[in-house]
Structure formats: C-alpha cells, structure tokens
Amino acid sequence: MDDSILDAIGSPLVRVASPAGATVATKVESFNPGGSAKDRPARAMVEAAEREGRLEPGDRFVEPTSGNTGIGLALVAAAKGYDLTVVMPESKSEERRRLMRAYGADLELIEGEMTDARERADELERQGLVQLRQFENPANPESHYRTTGSEIVEQTEGRTVDAFVAAVGTGGTIMGTGRRLREAFPGMRVIAVEPETNAVLSTGEAGVDDFQGMGPGFVSEITDVDLIDAIETVDLAAAEAECRRLAREEGLLVGQSSGASTLVARRTAARLADAGSEVGPDDQSGAAGSRGSGTDPTTDGGGDDPLVVTVLWDSGERYLSTGLFD
C-alpha cells in the first residue's frame, strides 16, 4: 500500500508499431496519477523547495505552464497542503483548465505565449509568491534522471537502447532521461523533436506553432544542447494524424507532442534497421518525409534488433475539445 498518491508515480514501457528489424518502445506517461510525465518534476521541484525551506504547508506558490506541469503541480499541492496559482496562455485546451481547477488551483489565463506567462509569474513572485521555475530548476531534469531513465533501464531487461527520442518543452525529460540512459548505454543517440514552425533548437529563431506542450519558443536554462545528437522537426498535421493512428490502431490515446515523438522514433528505427549504425536524420525538413508508413504493428522485434525509446507524454483526453480526434 502506498502512503500517498505521489508514491504511485511511474509508467510502463510498451512496444508500438515498429519497422521490420527494429523495435520502438514508449513510456506511457498517462499512467501517472496526474495523467502526464510532468508529475515527476512537479513532485521533485516541490520537495526540493521544501528541503531548501522555501515552502511550508499552507504556503502559496506560482508557476507558468502550458498545462501539464500545472496539472502535476496542482495534484502535488493538493496532496501536500499548498495553495497554487497557475499562469497559462489562454490558447491552451479547456480540459487543462478544468483539471487544474478540479485539484483546487487558481488559474490566471493570459494573452500571448509562454514567454508572457513567465513574465507574469515573475511579477507574482515579486509580490511575494514562491516560484518553482521549471525551465531553470535542476530538480526538473534530476527527477527524470532518477525515475524515467532508471525505469527504462530496468524495463528494457538487458537490451541495449540505441536511441532516445523526446519532444522538447522545458527540456527536463530529454536532459535527465538522456543523461541516465547515456550512462547505461554509452553509444546511444539522443534525438530532440520540435515543431516545424517553431524550431528554435534547429535554427536559433523562435517561431509560432499550435502544439500544446512542446516548442516554448526559447531554449530553457536547463537544456544542455551538447547532450543532443540530432534534432528533427514535425508539423502539427502529421503529429495529429499519428495521434489518431495510435488511438485507432494501437489503443493509445495521446496528445500532439506524443504523436510527434512517435513519428520521429519510427523514422529513427527505420534508419537504424536499414543502415545499421546510421541514426541521424536524412534532413531536418519535418514530417512530410516520414518513413513510418511501412511499419508493421505485429512485428515482434528480437533482442538483437535496434531499440528506440520515446515518450508518450500525456493522455489524449485533455485534447478532445480541440477536435484532434474528430
């Protein structure tokens, strides 16, 4: 018996449709209590603030978010007895708003993007609220090093991971998980995924996109670009088509960044199967040239086949109002 809902954080590793001669496996993060990968850093950042004496039960803290971190923090705040103010761009889905409020968080919606949400949270911090600062807080990637990465090492049961693919938002997952997996599998490649129209890692220039959960429009302070071996971009239409495929062909209901991550993971696996050691992208032009269409969901990758691991970040339930699955 767990003493707290927070002790239930963790997720399975599940094989999905994979190219012949390779295996793609995904961490299904909707199994976390708050329904996303962000439960991990949410708990870690709050507990780090407790150890530092910055938070005590009954305090109020603030955080800017595109949604999932806010939901995770609302869960943690409810379980630990804190009050929470979440600052979020008004463009994010209705389900995100309702979930945060259901856990008791106060929600402040703003016009603009994540940079604007960060500025508003900074204002509230100057007024006396504690801010956890997910984009620069080392507890964020450390939580994935200790949990997500370690779980993958255990769940792969002795198989070598050849590549780890992850969409980039705060950078916490790709940094922490990538670092832990690189320790276990020194030859492994780390591949970042970002929106085609907001490819700040690829181009150094911020753009505009409609993804919810990746592509904040800046490179966070916790992102060490030297850990990343390759960057691929995905357009929103391709990512959403992959979400529908995952739901209707594999029973996995996931959101946009999960669709993008899976597309790149399947492309990477196809290259590995075809060329042995060639992992880098053929180009950086986005999803139009995806090689995933030839995958076979019944393929049972053998222990010697290349293994690519990625992350399904959250549940598609929090995207239903967007028309994603219509």
Choosing from 131, 156, 181, the residue where a domain stops is 131
The top-scoring range by mean pLDDT among 5-19, 196-210, 274-288, 302-316 is 5-19
Q: Are 175 and 53 in the same domain? A: no
| Residue 277 pLDDT greater than 90, yes or no | no
Domain coverage including residue 176: 5-35+138-322
Q: What is the pTM of this model?
A: 0.89
Q: What is the C-alpha separation between 273 and 1, in angstroms, rounded?
A: 43
CATH number at residue 80: 3.40.50.1100
Q: Is 285 a catalytic residue?
A: no
Over the stretch 84-133, which tens digit does the pLDDT of each residue have? 999 998 988 889 899 999 999 999 999 988 889 999 999 999 999 999 99
What angle in degrees, to the nearest 10, is found between the helix axes of 68-80 and 39-51? 50
**What is the number of structural domains in the chain?**
2
Q: Is 38 a catalytic residue?
A: yes
Q: Is 160 exposed, middle or buried (0-12, 13-18, 19+ CB in 10 A)?
A: middle
Catalytic residue among 18, 27, 36, 38: 38
| Residue 281 pLDDT greater than 80, yes or no | no
Length of the chain equals: 326
Catalytic residue among 18, 30, 143, 257: 257
